[in-house]
Amino acid sequence: MRAQASALLQQDHGAAVFLDFEKAYDTVNRDFLFAVMEAVGAGAAGEGEPAGASAMTRWARILLADTKAVAVINGHISPQRRWAAGVRQGCPVAPVLYLFVAWALNGWLKAQSTSVIGINL
């Protein structure tokens, strides 16, 4: 609120951006996630592996490979469906995996304009 008041008093332009990550875990593009992980070098490359390969990325690929899900509604179980996007809700590593996506978004936002100044809350 102080930043907003300061901008008004100085007749500066300003904007507030609030991002709602609704269904964030469910909608993560896995190829994008793996690309970001490889770009930042998540983990060390194993012996004899290409430079971009990493142990953490390899484990994430294994964890998210061939995932399937069912829905339980009023005690009835739906047929099993392949789950091709997202990270698993409730999985202990899901928040860590999602942070790679959020980090990439942060980098993209910073690259859009050098005149945008953030504030620490």
User: 21-64 pLDDT, tens per residue?
Assistant: 778 888 899 999 999 998 888 866 666 665 555 788 888 888 89
Residue 7 located in a structural domain: no
Domain that holds residue 67: 22-112
What is the average pLDDT value for the chain, to the nearest integer? Answer: 80
How far apart, in Å, are the Cα atoms of 66 and each of 30, 69, 110?
12, 10, 35
Residue 56 located in a structural domain: yes
Domain count of the fold of the chain: 1
Residue 1 located in a structural domain: no
Residue 104 located in a structural domain: yes
Separation between Cα atoms, residue 88 and residue 60, nearest integer Å: 11
pLDDT at 54: 74
pLDDT at 25: 85
Indicate the pLDDT class of residue 115, thresholds 50, 70 and 90: low
Residue 73 located in a structural domain: yes
Residue 9 located in a structural domain: no
Quick check: 74 pLDDT over 90? yes
Separation between Cα atoms, residue 10 and residue 106, nearest integer Å: 28
pLDDT at 49: 61
Q: What pTM value is reported for the model?
A: 0.68
